[in-house]
Structure 1
Amino acid sequence: MRAVAVPRVLAALVLLLLTALPTALPKAAAGEPGAAPFLQLRIDRVTPDVVTTTSDPLVTVSGVVRNIGDRTVRDVVLRLEHAPGVDVSSGLRTNLTGNVDQFDPVADFITATPELPRGQEVPFTFTYPIRAADGPSLRIEQPGVYPLLVNVNGTPDYGAPARLDDARFLLPVLGVPSEPGADSAAETLNSVVPPDTSKPVRLTMFWPLADKPRLAAGIPGGTAPVRLVDDELATSLAPGGRLETLLAAVDFATSPTVDPGGDVGRALCLAVDPDLVVTVNAMTTGYVVNDGPDGGPTTPTRPGTGQEAAIGWLNRLKALAQRMCVVPTPYAQADLDAVQRVGDPALSAIATTGAADIVDRILGVTSTRGVTILGDGPLTGGAAQLLSGQGRTVAVTAAPLTAQDDATGLGSSADLEPVRYSPNLVTMPFDPTIGAALAGAGADPAAPSYLHSSLEVPLRQDSPVARRQNAIGSLLWRGLRPEVEPRTEVVVPPLVWTLRPDDAQAVLTSVGTAIRAGLALPRPVGELIADADAVPAAADAGWPSAEAGSRGRVDDAVTSGIAATNGRLAGLTAALGVDERTGLTGIAYTAPLREDMLRALSQSEPPAAREDLAKQRLSVVTDTVGDMFGAVRIMNPGGAYTLATERSPLPLALRNDLPVPIRVRLAVDAPPGMSVDDMGEISLPPGYLPLRVPIEVHFTQRVAVDVTLRTADGLPLGETVRLSVHSNAYGKVLFIITLSAAAVLVLLAGRRLWHRFRGQPDPADLDRPKRATVTRTDGVPLRSDPLDTAIRHAPDDSPRRAGARGDQPVGDQK
């Protein structure tokens, strides 16, 4: 019985599991997409992308639906839905995500496929009229910007029917065309609804030409060939590349054949990053690329491949700049709030006012001064104070905006009224929803850091066509809403913009269409500056909030590190001169390193990656600056010096491995008893310089002398060298004693000789006792007083010679 019962129990458990399995698997609730993705919609074509009074009255939306889940989806059905026109600028974002309550179906669901296996896709196409007296239509009666939605439902295996995905986009309607099937020209004309052009918006658009910093960190000036971190610019500058696409699109859109009246050209202004043109200009003479991950000056390199592309692109930019407005961005798109925290006025000037001089010199034009574009981050209190100290300027910055107005709880529009924060600073805000929509277009969509989190939309799941529609719809929205004030608009795309050729063409075509349709008037940058100058001071303006730029904010550790390194570099630069052989100046030699500080603060990188990249670049630059200080040094002799006299000079040798001369001073830590003459400032040329340091020593011993080399302003160079010095000098007191003793000795010897020549005894010998005379048996004295001997030997005495055995006669002398 037990053997039979066990199989029955197992069978019951299996049946129970099979029954419960569908409910245990992920299940999408009806009416909203499930947590587990099953289907994905992609919009491939919207025709027309901008509806005008003369366009086709039918709107066609086509694309594909793909099964990206882990099981088959059955009964895949789709329908097109529409929402009322956007009436506040926040709606340009909120209609693209979140609730779908505002959307109504255009028509019933259509079946795309009864069964869609995993990994497969099926196309779809919707075609509906803009409006129709009867039958399905988009029911658009007035110009505006209208959100559309494609909704897909299906039944995943082991699940219930549910809405599995949706794709949303904006459809700009500049004018409503006639209804389909109009019988006569009169009916067609009467049914057309043109836009309200009574209050056109004054439009200014900055067209960016910028890139991420590409010059390798820690490479000073005068280094040939120039070194880049990678070779991506070679692709970007070549035909079809990102920068070439941006340049070609604006060149074509403003050409006399396309823009004969010059209206688009007057509405546009090139926003050029000085760091980009510096890099491209350096590439034109040949360059190398780092072939290793560390990116330091010792990294192996390989030849770059973009020299010809750089030459061609830069020449085209120079030609375009001759007929267009040019405004420089902050150098390397540096975060001005972080630059202000560094606290170096010279670095602040390079980032702002000095940027225009660089662009002018390379492009051969006079760029427009008085405009500062804050491309990614908002205007903070620190950035405002920095700009106020750099002279009169207009800060083009994103206006603060959230999805809902705190007072009403309804959607809100960006306040684009200019604000004067100081006599030198006026802000000219731009709508962040437009900037974000433009940032979402192209091959690398991103959300700028100034955008409030309530206005963010998922970008990666939207198709390039849908993102393009959102960009041009947002761009045209204010012109189609004459009731929205003020009637001015500044358009600032992301500075590092990755547009495809069709994206760039669509954006510039929309600008031209708005101007030709009477919805917009070009406002050149000169007029924008004039409008800003007319803004009165606000009584309670104050400074912007310090927390405004919290997203993507550069860490204080980075700014303090930059301040320390930049301070040392500035001190070294002040001591450097000009190499007469090459013409290289100290300022030009250290300029790339100062610019590296700004590249470390660049906002061109995503906020999440900025801090790590900044620390990496700062580390390399700090090491290079340290090596530069160590390159000017005192050569250590490694032995001992012996000074022959008290005034023997101290021999030294200085070494300068920098390519420019440097003004230095010697600091000798002399022990007591040694005095060192100050040699003043020494111009130390590149190479080797022997020196003889005048000293005076007043002792005789071995001592240690520390010698340090410093800049003219006192910064230490190289390492302190300790010399072992042995002195044989006697000193002044011993010298005087010795000299006195020698004088006394000479005097006494002279007196004795004087008396001897006169045949007189020396008075010093008169008081001496006479010596006893010892004689032999033969009467000859063995020892006698010298004076007695001298008396006894009178001149007439016969001379004698001492014989072998005493004094014996040696013969008569003749």
Structure 2
Amino acid sequence: MSPPRRPRGVRRLRPPRTTRTTRTTRTSGAGVVLALVVGLVGLLLLLASPLAVAAPAAPAAPRADPPRPVEVVLDTMAPRVVTADGPGELVVSGRVVNRSAVTARDVGVRLERGAAVSGERAALAALEGQGSGATVRTPTVEVAPEIAPGTEAPFVVRVPMGGSGSGSLGLAAPGVHPLVVTVDGALGSSAAGRLGAVRLLLPVVGVPGAGPPAAPPVGRAAAVSLLYPLADRPRRVPVVPGAPTLLTDDELAASFAPGGRLAGLVDALGRSAPLGSAPARSVCLAVDADLLETAQAMAEGYQVRTPGGTVLGVGAVAAGRWLDAVRTQARGRCVTALPYAGTDLVATTRGNRPDLTAAAITTATRRVGDILGVEPVPDTVWPAGGLADARSVADLASGGTRTLLLDGDVLAGTPPPGALARLAEPAGEGPTVVALDPVGAEALGPRAGDDDAGDSTSPAGTSGPLAAQDALGILGLRALDTPDGDAPAVDVLAPPADWAADETEAGALLTGIADLARLGLARPVDLGALVGPVVATTPLPRATTGSREVAALPEPLVARAGAVVDRQRELLAATERDGVGAPSPSDFVEPLTDGVLRSLSASWRGDPAAQDTQLGAVERQVDELRSLVRVVQPSGSYSLGTNDAPLLLTVENRLPVAVRVQVVLEPTNGLRTAPLPVVTVPAFGSRQVQVEVEVTRAGQFAVDARAQTPGGEPLGPTARLLLRSTAYGTITVWLTASAAVVLVILASVRIARRVLAARRDRRSRRRHRRGDPPTGGGTEGTDLPTRELQKR
């Protein structure tokens, strides 16, 4: 007997071993988790142990040098430039500050003078405190028998300039001498020794009482030009059009206020270099358009980002007054525009973005002229720090730059005579190069080099007193040097863009130029006259850029910034002014390009995190602008009764300008669409777009729709459309027709079979009536059953 058949739809039970397998799998999973936990705990214990290998940590911030136990602070020195008709003694005043935890005993101060320096190498060595040693030491003047911890003691030292006595400096001829103010004493129970020192350069252009030095012939005196920077690091954050100005901090409020750095630089011009004076003829203002725009925006009210949120800025009044003072001082003076926000032109070149290089220059020149109402020196570029390589020079030359202000160390070999030359590269008539004084730049910038004793400091590059003293020494050195060629020397001093000098020190440098001009040792000339049309057509010696490696911002960040600019330009190309009096598209798109240039500022060299923060803010702003143009998400679904029913979509524009938009439906199975035309959506408005579609299947499915610019840049978020189709598409019709053909064929076959069977039955009956034997030769007993079967 056969086994009973299993009913249809009832599955045979799996053997019990499958269940055991599942249980084993779960047990193995728990074991894996337990092993991971044990391994993690062991790893933590290993990392906590002293023998653990530490993971690479993020680079730490530069650590400030610890304060010196005893600090020597100089307040004044008179005279700053020794002349034949000046006072006969040098007066130095200052303070000795005890920052240690023990008492300083038997503290005294004395002066040490070195031999006059000659040449650039000796000058650089003197600036770094690496001179050959003191040739004159004055007697020690007592400061205080004891200076308690945390207190200070003032001092004044008076020393005769000339004479051969032990109490004088022993000056006998003009020259520039290293001068060291040394403080001796004992700290606590230690032995007496040197507690601290400050090094300076003392320019002597005439010995008091010995008569003035012979001035060079007319026209042979060294030309002196001073680039006077008014710049700061970028602080603005991109905001939506119409929103208040937002700054990263409010440090500019103090800098613009009386006594601040930027206010002091502008005030020094009015007091020490009034129009028509010798210093005024040597000064060329180097102005950053971003700083001017920031001051202009601050004057109208601004906000500051703080850890606790956004607050109102407090420097609106100071910013307005400072900007007015700059406009006043700029009238009638030489003015040149710095690259916008200090853009790193070397980085934009290495990142293959000449468009950003050109934007940084043209934008800066145009806006400096518009805000100050002056005409900047045309086609002149001062790269950040005066540094450039061969590629960036070629980019600038191809962009129309005719004059480059470069650090003398960038040029191959020694700077050309007269500090003016014609670049040999690129091929052909290259731009004029002005070789900035590299020793003067060293004298004006901060430096941390110590002398052999390791306890000598320099006020150069700080905001404190005597910060410009070394620069006065370099000016005296250039004025006293005899030029080698027929052409007189040209000394172009270029302080750092963020020059820290206060009003007193900036004024002292300007006064020093006036003293040299009065004595006939210097001929003030501004940059505009130096590179004017006459000089531009004069044959100049050839110069080439050297192989010096120039640091720049990372190329990946430049590439990222270039991608942001490309998106901005695509968005700008799709916008247009919406009627008379409406805002221009550039009013809200160009500020984004400004933000990209601020993120490429050379101020962020060595600080990629700061640049990433700046650029990230611009990227978010671009995304926010793009999100204001979108396909409105429908609240329900679309029901399509035919295969060619249209869809009605709404495009919304919340920008203050009109935008040309193209709606795109993502490819979807069962739906075909033709490319849609570009439509213009008005400002703060919307427009309905009819989309012709062809449905090739029935049912419910989703389609993504988005808006984009005519160039293909996505705009706003994607809208998801739900479609419900009851129409028969071409595929459904084809399937129906095919099924009908199959049914017809099957029916025809069945009919044919019945016809053939009926014919055979009729033939069999006729043969039986006539007595014919059955077909196949069977017996008579088999004929009746056969006929019965045929009847059935």
TM-score range, shorter chain: 0.7 to 0.9
Q: Which of 346, 351, 354 is the aligned partner of 2:360?
A: 351
* Count of matched residue positions in the alignment of Structure 1 and Structure 2: 655
| Alpha-carbon offset, residue 204 of structure 1 | 1.7
Q: Which amino acid is 1:214 matched to?
A: R
Which blocks of at least 5 consecutive residues in structure 2 are unaligned? 1-65, 450-454, 737-792
Indicate yes or no: 2:534 matched with 1:514: no
Per the alignment, residue 237 of structure 1 pairs with 256
Indicate yes or no: 2:695 matched with 1:676: no
| Alpha-carbon offset, residue 479 of structure 1 | 1.1
Q: Is the 8 A contact 1:96 1:457 kept in 2?
A: no
Per the alignment, residue 59 of structure 2 pairs with none
Cα 1:734–1:342 shift into 2, 3 Å: closer
Name the CA distance, whole Å, in 1 between partners of 2:103 and 2:416: 44
Q: Which amino acid is 2:511 matched to?
A: T
Q: Is the 8 A contact 2:346 2:389 kept in 1?
A: yes
Q: Is the 8 A contact 2:459 2:466 kept in 1?
A: no
Name the CA distance, whole Å, in 1 between partners of 2:101 and 2:148: 9
Indicate yes or no: 2:267 matched with 1:248: yes
TM-score normalized with structure 2 length = 0.75
CA deviation digits over 1:747-772, x for unaligned, max 9? xxxxxxxxxxxxxxxxxxxxxxxxxx
Cα 1:253–1:627 shift into 2, 3 Å: same
Name the CA distance, whole Å, in 1 between partners of 2:541 and 2:416: 24
| Alpha-carbon offset, residue 59 of structure 1 | 1.4
Name the CA distance, whole Å, in 2 between partners of 1:156 and 1:254: 46
Cα 1:604–1:513 shift into 2, 3 Å: farther
| Alpha-carbon offset, residue 594 of structure 1 | 1.0
Indicate yes or no: 2:663 matched with 1:644: no
Q: Which amino acid is 1:219 matched to?
A: V
Give the secondary-structure state (helix, strand or coil) at the position aligned to 2:444: helix
Cα 1:379–1:624 shift into 2, 3 Å: same
Give the secondary-structure state (helix, strand or coil) at the position aligned to 2:467: helix
Q: Which amino acid is 2:280 matched to?
A: G
Indicate yes or no: 2:723 matched with 1:717: no
| Alpha-carbon offset, residue 307 of structure 1 | 2.8
| Alpha-carbon offset, residue 82 of structure 1 | 0.7
| Alpha-carbon offset, residue 175 of structure 1 | 1.5
CA deviation digits over 1:332-357, x for unaligned, max 9? 01111112234334322220123111
Per the alignment, residue 231 of structure 2 pairs with 210
Per the alignment, residue 305 of structure 2 pairs with 290
Per the alignment, residue 788 of structure 1 pairs with none
Q: Which of 74, 84, 96 is the aligned partner of 1:53?
A: 84
Name the CA distance, whole Å, in 1 between partners of 2:130 and 2:618: 50
Name the CA distance, whole Å, in 2 between partners of 1:98 and 1:413: 28
| Alpha-carbon offset, residue 135 of structure 1 | 5.0
Indicate yes or no: 2:431 matched with 1:433: no
**Equivalent pairs: percent with the same residue?**
31
Per the alignment, residue 67 of structure 1 pairs with 98
| Alpha-carbon offset, residue 672 of structure 1 | 6.7
Name the CA distance, whole Å, in 1 between partners of 2:184 and 2:286: 45
422-431 or 270-279: which moved more? 422-431
Give the secondary-structure state (helix, strand or coil) at the position aligned to 2:358: helix
Per the alignment, residue 489 of structure 1 pairs with 491
1:276-355 → structure 2 map (5 Å cutoff) = 276-292=291-307, 300-355=309-364
1:438-453 → structure 2 map (5 Å cutoff) = 438-440=444-446
Cα 1:113–1:354 shift into 2, 3 Å: closer
Q: Which amino acid is 1:624 matched to?
A: Q
1:165-244 → structure 2 map (5 Å cutoff) = 165-178=196-209, 191-198=210-217, 199-216=220-237, 218-220=238-240, 222-244=241-263
Name the CA distance, whole Å, in 2 between partners of 1:358 and 1:602: 17
Cα 1:401–1:572 shift into 2, 3 Å: closer
Name the CA distance, whole Å, in 2 between partners of 1:98 and 1:207: 27
Name the CA distance, whole Å, in 2 between partners of 1:311 and 1:36: 38
Name the CA distance, whole Å, in 1 between partners of 2:463 and 2:180: 13
Q: Which amino acid is 1:658 matched to?
A: L
Question: How much is the aligned-residue C-alpha RMSD, in angstroms?
Answer: 3.5
Per the alignment, residue 464 of structure 1 pairs with 464
Give the secondary-structure state (helix, strand or coil) at the position aligned to 2:203: strand
Q: Which of 692, 695, 704 is the aligned partner of 1:694?
A: 692
Name the CA distance, whole Å, in 2 between partners of 1:699 and 1:74: 100
Give the secondary-structure state (helix, strand or coil) at the position aligned to 1:418: strand
Give the secondary-structure state (helix, strand or coil) at the position aligned to 2:385: coil
Cα 1:712–1:447 shift into 2, 3 Å: farther
111-120 or 423-432: which moved more? 111-120
Cα 1:223–1:476 shift into 2, 3 Å: farther
Cα 1:253–1:96 shift into 2, 3 Å: closer
Per the alignment, residue 548 of structure 1 pairs with 549
CA deviation digits over 1:475-533, x for unaligned, max 9? 33211222467601111112222322211211111122222221111223233224355
Per the alignment, residue 766 of structure 1 pairs with none
1:597-616 → structure 2 map (5 Å cutoff) = 597-604=596-603, 607-608=605-606, 610-616=607-613
Cα 1:459–1:638 shift into 2, 3 Å: farther
Name the CA distance, whole Å, in 2 between partners of 1:98 and 1:735: 96
Name the CA distance, whole Å, in 2 between partners of 1:263 and 1:116: 46
Name the CA distance, whole Å, in 2 between partners of 1:700 and 1:78: 100
Cα 1:325–1:700 shift into 2, 3 Å: same
Q: Is the 8 A contact 1:58 1:129 kept in 2?
A: yes
Q: Which amino acid is 2:352 matched to?
A: G
Q: Which amino acid is 1:633 matched to?
A: R
Cα 1:691–1:73 shift into 2, 3 Å: same
Name the CA distance, whole Å, in 2 between partners of 1:460 and 1:204: 23
1:640-789 → structure 2 map (5 Å cutoff) = 640-669=637-666, 671=668, 674-685=671-682, 686-697=684-695, 700-730=698-728
Q: Is the 8 A contact 1:147 1:168 kept in 2?
A: yes
